[in-house]
Structures are given as C-alpha cells and as structure tokens.
Structure 1
C-alpha cells in the first residue's frame, strides 16, 4: 500500500527554544532580521503548505509539499515541534569563492507521530526546507510532491531540457528562456531557475545536499502560475552507446528512490535577493551541504590547464602531425611550463573510447613517459573519461593513475541525475579523494554542494559553455548568457566554462566553426571570464599556437589566480552586465562584461586601503573592437582609494584589471 508522508504544520512561538506540544494548525517563521517570513499551514486536504514573503511582498502562495512512500500508514498528526532561534554557523570553505563566511537563521522542526519530520530554515537571504525519515515509513519513495504556487506574474528564467524524447536525460546545458510565468512553456527545466518580481526582488530555486536521491526538475504551468517539482524515476534497465561506452537508461521503475534507515532528503532552497549583486555570492547551497569527508585537503591544488579538445589539437608550425600522440602532448606540456600553467588535460582519445577500458592507452600515447616529462617541467596531467567507465574500473583505475602521478580526472557524460547516477557520483568522489585525485565533472547535473562534501571536486560544467561555439546557430546570444548565468547558475557552485578564445568575432561576423572555433564578443570579454567566473580549475581552451601569437593576453590570463581570498560584485544587472571584484593576498582583480549593448562603466577604487598606491594594468576593448572583436588595449596607471576610472565596453565587450601594490 502506498503511504503519503504529509506534514501538518506545527506551531510554536518564535521565542520558544525547546520542543512544545502542537495544537494549532499554522506557524510563521521569521528570518533573523524579520525581512523574510515563512507561513506554514495545514491545508484542508491534509497536505502541508508553506508560503514565502519578503518585506511584506508575497513570493510564493501556499504551496503543497509531501512525500509518497510505498507501504505503511499515512502520517498526518504532529507529535511535537521546536524552534531554534539565531543559529549562527561559520564555514571554512577551501577553494570556494569566499573561503570564510558565516550564516545565521531561525529553524522550525515539525516531528510527526510516525517519526518523520520536516525542517524549515529562514535566513535573511533565503528559505530552505527538507524532509527527514526515521526509516520506519517505507523503503521506496514513489514520489515527492513540490507544487510551488507563484505569487503575481514574475518573469521566469528557465533552462529547459534539450532532450525532447527523454527530457530527464541530457547534459544540463542550455540558455535561458525568459518569459512571464503566465506564458511559460511546460517543458521540463533543470535548476537553478530564477523568478524576477520587479524592482530588484528575485527568488532563485536551488537544491543542496543531494545524495542517493534524484535531482529536482520543474515544470511550469502558465495557467495556474505554478512550478511542479519533477524527479527522474529509478532506472530499471540500461544500455551503452557504442562509440564511447556511455551508459544510458532504457527503462524506469514507477518510483524515484530506494532508501534504508534513518536519513535526510535534499534541501529545497529559495534564495531571495533584493539587488542583483547579491546573487552570484549567495552561499546557501554550499552552507546546507554535508560537511567535508576529506580530512586532509593539502594535496588539492586547483589551477589552470592547457586543453586540446576545444581547439581540436590545433597546432601549427610544428614538425609533427598534431593529434592524440606523444609529440603533441609534449608540446602542450612545454607550453604550459613556459607560461606558468599548472596542468595539461588529455581529453577524449587517449584510450579507445568504444572499448570502455581506461586502463589501456592507445599505442600513440606513452602515459608513463608523458607523466615523467611533465613532472620534470613542473606540470601535472589530468585524464578524461566517461562516468560509468571510471565507475566500472574505479578502484583499479584510481590506484593505477594515482600511483603513476596523474593529478585528476575530467569525468564526462553522466547526462542524468536519477538516484543511481547520483550514487555513482558519490562513489567516484569518494574513491578519487582516497587516492588523492581531483575531479572536474562534465556532462553533469547542477552543483548541489558536492564541492563542500568532497573538496577534491574542484569544478563542474553544467553550463552553456564555450564548447557551444563549435556548433551553435547564429541565433545563440553568448554575451547575454555570459552576463546572465553568473547570477543564476553560479549561485550553486563553480563553472568549468572553458574560456580563453583568441579568435573573437562581432555579432555580425560570428559563425560556428568546429575545428577553428571563435567566441562571440571581444577579446577583453574573453579575458574577463577568468575573473567574473568562479572556476578553481579552469581551462585555456585555445591552441598554444594562438596563445603564442597573443603572448600579451596569455601573460595577463596566466597571472590571474583561480582561487581567491575575497569575492564580491561591484555592480551589475542580470542579463545586461556584471563587474566582479576579487582579492588574492595583497592584489586585486576586477572583471567587467557587457551584453551586445555598449556601455561606459566607471570603476571606483574606493575599496582600496587608504594612503596606498597600486599599480594597475587594464586590458580593455580597443577603439575598433566593435568591428574587430580581437582589438584590445593595455593601459597601465597608478591609482589609490580616491581614484575613479571610466572604461568603455564595446558591444559584447568587457575589461580585466589587475592591481598590484
């Protein structure tokens, strides 16, 4: 028999600090400052509903949440409730955009007569809730109800699935469809998604602490102006694509998860912001994830990597045929060493993809010799592989390549987030951590705090990145996306966008080119990516030949750290422009980007310590960058805390600033 775990709301006064008997049918939980309120009510049909308001404005109307279990009794009665007030937490967050931060919230916990519970948290920058079970309710979760009734008619930013036949199976990469929710398509969309209520007020839906459970998608209903949570069903059968032995789902059960014992379910997060500058630095996903399971992180060394796939191993002027061979990778290693680049990635092809055997290299690759050569040059090597291929050979592959001296795996083509896919991810994260191997996850669902639980996971794709420039239609607007996703997608974790194009094109001139790809927008816009984007492990996506032809830009890029001490947003408006400020030791870095609209931006250096001069290098759009997107200018000057500097950004342009005392 199916059991529906339905929570009736619990009531406790906000000043209460211990469990109390529940007699009423509603409760209100306030954030520490009182700016955000969560109203929890018992609906007539027995479902728990909650609503969210910010500064008196309704964001969510009463919205039903519940969990369906197979077997057992229906849980409708409250046993007890408790409120914890003024929960303060401090976080040491290695390799995160702000390595030290604090949070503060109030918490309401509702305990049910069958031992299950739901917990609500109210922060000044958002709301979160999660279900918990004591393991007695049932071992099969048939579904989770999450029906979010949106107040008003806000504009919604939806990244829809790109797979019409099996929408829950795709790479989690798409641009945003922007529309009033009353006109939204019912196509399945992945998280995060943002609702814009006007006058700066926005709410972004995310999740955290996703473990052994499917991730959440949403479907919009334009008539009811609601978002329905959707979860991939548990796979019943799988098969493999022959060309790279990638596993895919061929059949699914009628339930979403199998569980055992006492456990928590993922946090559902509603990040509330009143200024777009707050969005890229909202920390709720990281804060609500499980703490680190890696005791010693001293071996984890993020950095930059020279990478061959985007430029198609595109060397010129060399005395050998460029491709997947020892000569090409020695050249990449030399380039990395000469330019202070920490790593080189060997992407697809170093083993035979269709073999599904990453323990055997192709004859053209002598991996031990390449590792030895790279080590002498002070360069580390990373290896690409497919998720299920690594999982099948997990312990043997981790031991072999860790012992050999490989620094990490770029793991690709998961393309799903059902429970078995999430379980595979945790197995891989744990095994690689035990063998001192870092991870860069591609073809992967959105970040849900895994980089806190396993800090060896140093980056995620889950973004409509530079690879799309190899095949996208001219209708794709990359500069606009570049100044949109940092506000939405980057809220949940870092991005492996793979920037660094040295071929740059204006809106009129751009076209997709597979073997010699080019970016939309200016050279300065490309360089600014390295400051705007959270990316502890980041690529130099273009060819060493192109970087050597543009040594000035290469030197500027490689002088930018990938991990910082402080991050903030100086200015910006989602979908239009962004200006990011970062600090590393005593140096500062500023990255600015615009959409296809040109704009003037005045940088105010008031953040600098008073009474101290800084040497500034500015890489900005050249006077001809509107038509010649590769045109840029380097300017050097001395500034202090009283200096203001106006910079012109061309269409699709930007700027990058380095300040050294």
Structure 2
C-alpha cells in the first residue's frame, strides 16, 4: 500500500523576493541533518551532520556553464519549500520484499544576482541514513539550451579518513581497491586499464571511515543524460571536488531546460552493516513505468565462457584470416579446433543446466568477427546475427526448448557503439525470433564514436536507451564494461545486472583479485546496483585446465568462499561460472549453488567491516528458507552467528558448507567440509573461516 504524507511550508518568503542574507535552512530526519546557506560571496553551500558529529563541513555547490555566466557565481535566495514524504513500494525483484522511502525534502530557489538573472533550484532529500541532492534548471525565458562544463560540488570531510578507492579512469572500473588515508591517495604508480587517471582522482562509490567510527559513502543516483561523477581528492585539506567525465568536445553535458542532474548521495551510519542495508540510492530513482513485469525472471545460468578464460577453448573460430563483415565467405575460414561455441559443446551445457534446474545457458563467441576485434578500434566488427559455421542457431533453439532451458544471447560490441546502435534493432529481432529472452552486452576497448568515454554523457545515454529498448521487446539485459550502476534497476527492472568492476575472471589471466576484494565490493561498486561477478569457481588451481598457459594461476579464494559469494554479492542474475566437469567432481558442494535463491524477501547484514569481512543472511522469495554467506579477507576468522532472524517456533535444518580445517586460499583452497545441524531462532552457529575463505549455509524448515 502506498502511503504518502506531504507537508509544504514556505520558509524563505515568496518566490521573486530575493534574500541575499537569508538565514540558513535546515532539513532533518532522525540523526541526519542538512543545512543550506549562502556564503558571504553569495555561493550556495551545505553541511551534513549525524547526531552531534559533522559529516560534511561547509561545502560549495554550483553549476559551471560553457560560454555564458553559470550558477557558480553570486546567487540570491528567492524562495524555498520543505516537504515530508513517507511511502512504501515493492520492487519487481530485490534484496527485500518492500522498501520504505521516508525523507524530508528541502527545495531552494536561487537566482543569479547579475543579469540575465537566470534561476536554479537545488533539491535536498534527507533520509535517516544520509542525504541526496541535485540541481534543477527550470524552464525559463533566458535559458533553453545550455552546456555544462563542470560542477562546483564539494564534499569537505572532517578529517583524514580511511578510504577504499580505485583510480578515476574514465573508461574502466576494473581495478583492485587501494585502502589508504585520504592524504595518501595517489594512483600515479597504478597501471591504467584504459584512461590514465589524474593521480588524485578517484571514482565513486567512494567508501570512507572516520577515526571516530563514522562510515560515509559518496556516490550518485539516477544517472540519466549526464556524465558520471568522479572526485578529486585534496590530500591536505581532505576535501573532495567533483570531476565530470568529459565528452569528445571537452564539455561535460549538453542539456535543454527543464533539466536536472543526477542526485549526489552521501550515505552515513555509525556501523558498517547499516551502509550495506541502505536503500537511499534506490529510493532516489524513478519508479518503473512498466505495467507488466512477469517476463522479468531472476535466474541462475551456466555458459560457454570460463573455458575461454582458462585457455581450454577460444572465442574465435579461426586463428587465421580476418574477413570484412560484409563477406559471405566465413565458411572459408580454417577452423582452429578450439572454438568453444560449437553446437555439440553448447548442447553439453544445456544438458547440464536441465539436469540441475538451472534456467539459462550463456554462449559467448557464437557469432562471426572474433578474429578481428581486439585493440583495432575498428568500426564494423560484429553484426550480431551471423553465426559461425559450427553454431546451428535453429537446432540449438529446438534442443534448449525441449530441455526447458533458455539460451542467453551475447553481444560484444568491441567498443564500437555506433555499429551496435545501427544494428541493435535487427539483433533484438533476431533474438526474439530464436527464443532468446536475455542478453549479455559487452563494451571492451576504446569507444566509437572516437573520443567518447565509457562513463561520459553519450555512453550513459546509450546504456539507458539500450535498457529501455530491450524493455519494450521484453528482453532482460546484463551489461559488461558499462558505467557503474546508480540504482536505475528500479526504473528499468529488466536491467538485471552489470559488471562495471573487477570481476572473478581477473583471477584467470592476471595478478588476480586479492582476498579482501570481495569484502570491499559491497561497500563500493554494489552500492549502486547488482553485479555480475560470476562466482562459483570450484577448480581453484587453474593449471589443471591448461598447465602450459595457466602455470601458477589460481582464484584467490577458497572453494567455500566461492559459495558464500552467492549471498554476499547480490545479483538477481547469478552464474555458476565453472565448467560442468568441475561441478560433477564435487556434487555435494554444488548442491548449494543448485539450492541458493536469486530473489529475496528479506536481507540481514549480520556482521561487516569493509576490507575485512561480511556476513549476510537472506530469506528466499516466497519461501521459509534462509541462506547465509560469510567471507573474510586474507585473515582467518571465527564467527558465532545468532539465528534470531528465523521464525520463532519453527525448526530448521542448517547445512553448513565450510572451509576444511587445513584450508587457505593460497595453499589449500579446495579443502571444504559439509555438516548438518538442527536449529531454531534461539540457536547459534559457529563458523571458522580460513584465510581468504568463507562459509555458506542453507537453512530449510523441517517438521518436528
């Protein structure tokens, strides 16, 4: 039931009556308060407090426009309103069954002190766990089309906080996190993946912890028609200033009034679990306009994917010959004998999925063009509809349908987004004609149009337009190499997941992800939305797949931690990423992947500390089943969990998938043990987590 309470108060006089020396304006909810004021120079500023403690000290606000006086000079206050809102809404899918959206909103109306006297509104929303604010440019006579060159938005912090950060690369989020004091932020020695970052520029979400125990997360919500926000760190004053990803022309955004920016968000709490439980970013996004959503189905999937990463198969059909896309002579290519996306191999995955109750099978490398895509910055690489000679589209459609399994399409663009946009409608028609209801898109490499960035306005619009276009076709989408999420899965619930961070595959062909990586991601990347991390690797030592090419390579977790990631790293789209034969060797451990849900009625963060550990419990959608995931960094830990979240009076059986007594991520990662225990709401569970390890628990009701 929707319940909304609105209370509007006129707090600064009638609009049009300028207040150059107006008293500060405040909005608050519970412990969080925000104060707006004009500086003596007429610049808008704000502060944020949590109880008696300052979170953001006086920080500047403003929009810088190109070629015309912007809203970064002297402004006058001409009016304001306060509104209280309290509503409850139900997501199509998610971590909880219903979400409360409770805030106090302060809107301030500003006008340039000098001619032409254009107007700007700043809207603040104060929640019990933080604040969001955005700039709104109303329709007005003297401002229609305008170009944003930058923002004057600041986040001046109270001290030299501990920070969890990655470089402010405009084209990639796929870095390991650095943990340091703000005074030590410097990415000069970090090898760039795409765009060389300024040494003191970092990406959002930025996770911070103050010396006095406040947890602060800075990000943005509802990123629409605007570039992503980066932050420049002043390593001496600990202030953060906004840096918008530029377009090919150097400007940030081309807009037309009326228009507004994304919300800038500050989540604050005095304990780490409260940060992970926050729904502030999601609440700042618009509700979906879809009236029928039964076709959107959270699911697990397997696929032709990991075998390429471990050098057991290839994406490309041939190792020689790079034919142009217009060629009709693909059959003339000499097959290399290692092509993974062949009909027989895909049938093997379909059989495995059907046998184990897994809904989907992803197939990468099915379409022509993989011989000629990497690092060439080529306009036309893929057409998204032409299969290789050894991939029979019609036969596999019929075979999958007969097994009750859905194939998942793969569209790698190689960064040539203009090519994809020209061909997208035809590609989606091809999908629907052949029974595909979901697609994984990819944007590896430098973007075309040349000069645009993955995180700039042009690409942000592409990602959102693609989600909307696919929603109209009733297609679910998982985007890789995309801009990091900002809660838009509320608006586009068919946008099930994104990558937009350093995923599990980096363990296969690089220095890998350190054991702490997965304990940081929920506090950073996942604050904006679900991640397709591709967990579930059982063959931790990768030499067994290809000794020559995988020497010394391994996943930097234990096997039990891979199971726990299905709970701690939230996504409604979860891959069982390893090869079928890896699971067939360990069916007892694979049982957890078969059982664990992907959609939830309730979520409890039982324990958490960024960079150290996370323990999460979730209740399956529409079932009296709970699943627990506990993970740690490179340090072994013991945990005792109270099960007071269980229904009183109900008996359950807990199946604990734990690290073996001799397990560790580096020396003995595949050692695990499974035990069962009868429990109820008064019980406790003792978990022993190995170094780089974890534990996964399924809790199912039993009769007395």
Superposition TM-score, scaled by structure 1 size: 0.88
Please list the CA deviations of residues 206-254 of structure 1 after superposition, one character each: whole Å capped at 9, or x if unmatched. 101111110101121212321121112222xxxxxxxxxxxxxxxxx13
Contact 1:109 1:119 in 2 (8 A): yes
Of the structure 1 ranges 111-120 and 607-616, higher mean CA displacement relative to structure 2 is found in: 111-120
- 1:80 equivalent in structure 2: 79
- 1:520 equivalent in structure 2: 556
- 1:120 equivalent in structure 2: 124
Q: Identify unmatched segments of 5+ residues in structure 2.
A: 1-5, 112-117, 187-198, 313-336, 374-380, 445-452
One of 138, 141, 149 as aligned partner of 2:148: 141
Supply the distance in 2 between the matched residues of 1:305 and 1:499 (Cα, whole angstroms): 11
Is residue 212 from structure 1 mapped to residue 225 from structure 2 by the alignment? yes
- 1:193 equivalent in structure 2: 206
Is residue 652 from structure 1 mapped to residue 651 from structure 2 by the alignment? no
**Cα 1:100–1:364 shift into 2, 3 Å:** same
Shift of 1:391: 2.0
Contact 1:315 1:543 in 2 (8 A): no
Contact 2:64 2:70 in 1 (8 A): no
Determine helix, strand or coil for the equivalent of 1:87. Answer: strand
One of 152, 157, 177 as aligned partner of 2:159: 152
Is residue 17 from structure 1 mapped to residue 9 from structure 2 by the alignment? yes
- 1:398 equivalent in structure 2: 428
Supply the distance in 1 between the matched residues of 2:541 and 2:200 (Cα, whole angstroms): 32
Shift of 1:183: 2.2
Determine helix, strand or coil for the equivalent of 1:417. Answer: coil
- Following superposition of structure 1 onto structure 2, how do residues 297-376 of structure 1 map, counting pairs within 5 Å? 297-312=293-308, 323-353=340-370, 354=373, 355-376=381-402
- Following superposition of structure 1 onto structure 2, how do residues 417-432 of structure 1 map, counting pairs within 5 Å? 417-432=455-470
Shift of 1:25: 3.1
**Cα 1:321–1:31 shift into 2, 3 Å:** same
Shift of 1:38: 1.5
Determine helix, strand or coil for the equivalent of 2:237. Answer: coil
Is residue 183 from structure 1 mapped to residue 184 from structure 2 by the alignment? yes
Please list the CA deviations of residues 566-620 of structure 1 after superposition, one character each: whole Å capped at 9, or x if unmatched. 1110112221111101001111111111111111111212222222210111111
Supply the distance in 2 between the matched residues of 1:74 and 1:342 (Cα, whole angstroms): 53
Shift of 1:307: 2.2
Shift of 1:308: 2.3
| Aligned-pair Cα RMSD in Å | 2.4
Supply the distance in 1 between the matched residues of 2:553 and 2:299 (Cα, whole angstroms): 24
Of the structure 1 ranges 307-316 and 605-614, higher mean CA displacement relative to structure 2 is found in: 307-316
Determine helix, strand or coil for the equivalent of 2:502. Answer: coil
Is residue 105 from structure 1 mapped to residue 107 from structure 2 by the alignment? no
Shift of 1:361: 1.5
Determine helix, strand or coil for the equivalent of 1:359. Answer: coil
Supply the distance in 1 between the matched residues of 2:427 and 2:513 (Cα, whole angstroms): 40
Aligned length: 615
Supply the distance in 1 between the matched residues of 2:691 and 2:359 (Cα, whole angstroms): 33
Is residue 32 from structure 1 mapped to residue 29 from structure 2 by the alignment? yes
Please list the CA deviations of residues 357-404 of structure 1 after superposition, one character each: whole Å capped at 9, or x if unmatched. 112111111112212211111111111213524322122211221232
**Cα 1:322–1:356 shift into 2, 3 Å:** closer
Shift of 1:489: 2.1
Of the structure 1 ranges 495-504 and 184-193, higher mean CA displacement relative to structure 2 is found in: 184-193
**Cα 1:109–1:461 shift into 2, 3 Å:** same
- 1:64 equivalent in structure 2: 60
Determine helix, strand or coil for the equivalent of 1:635. Answer: strand
One of 123, 129, 133 as aligned partner of 2:133: 129
Determine helix, strand or coil for the equivalent of 2:458. Answer: helix
Contact 1:522 1:629 in 2 (8 A): yes
- 1:169 equivalent in structure 2: 171
Contact 2:48 2:54 in 1 (8 A): yes
Shift of 1:515: 9.5
Supply the distance in 2 between the matched residues of 1:307 and 1:637 (Cα, whole angstroms): 34
Contact 2:367 2:385 in 1 (8 A): no
Contact 2:61 2:152 in 1 (8 A): yes
Contact 2:42 2:76 in 1 (8 A): no
Please list the CA deviations of residues 519-539 of structure 1 after superposition, one character each: whole Å capped at 9, or x if unmatched. 112111111011111111011
- Following superposition of structure 1 onto structure 2, how do residues 621-660 of structure 1 map, counting pairs within 5 Å? 621-626=659-664, 627-660=667-700
Shift of 1:492: 1.5
- 1:268 equivalent in structure 2: 264
Contact 1:95 1:458 in 2 (8 A): no
Supply the distance in 2 between the matched residues of 1:339 and 1:208 (Cα, whole angstroms): 38
Shift of 1:61: 1.6
Determine helix, strand or coil for the equivalent of 1:416. Answer: coil
One of 272, 285, 290 as aligned partner of 2:286: 290
One of 641, 658, 673 as aligned partner of 1:603: 641
Superposition TM-score, scaled by structure 2 size: 0.83
Supply the distance in 2 between the matched residues of 1:653 and 1:370 (Cα, whole angstroms): 39
Shift of 1:135: 4.0
Is residue 258 from structure 1 mapped to residue 254 from structure 2 by the alignment? yes
Determine helix, strand or coil for the equivalent of 2:295. Answer: coil
Supply the distance in 2 between the matched residues of 1:397 and 1:621 (Cα, whole angstroms): 45
Shift of 1:112: 2.7
- 1:250 equivalent in structure 2: none
Structure having the higher strand fraction is 1
Contact 1:285 1:449 in 2 (8 A): yes
Contact 1:311 1:517 in 2 (8 A): no
Please list the CA deviations of residues 46-72 of structure 1 after superposition, one character each: whole Å capped at 9, or x if unmatched. 321112121221222211111122455
Please list the CA deviations of residues 164-208 of structure 1 after superposition, one character each: whole Å capped at 9, or x if unmatched. xxx3122x1222222111222233321100121134311100101
**Cα 1:643–1:254 shift into 2, 3 Å:** closer
Determine helix, strand or coil for the equivalent of 1:368. Answer: helix
One of 92, 95, 116 as aligned partner of 2:90: 92
**Cα 1:73–1:188 shift into 2, 3 Å:** closer
**Cα 1:300–1:25 shift into 2, 3 Å:** same
Supply the distance in 1 between the matched residues of 2:548 and 2:464 (Cα, whole angstroms): 36
One of 501, 505, 508 as aligned partner of 1:463: 501
Q: Identify unmatched segments of 5+ residues in structure 1.
A: 1-13, 162-166, 236-252
Shift of 1:416: 1.0
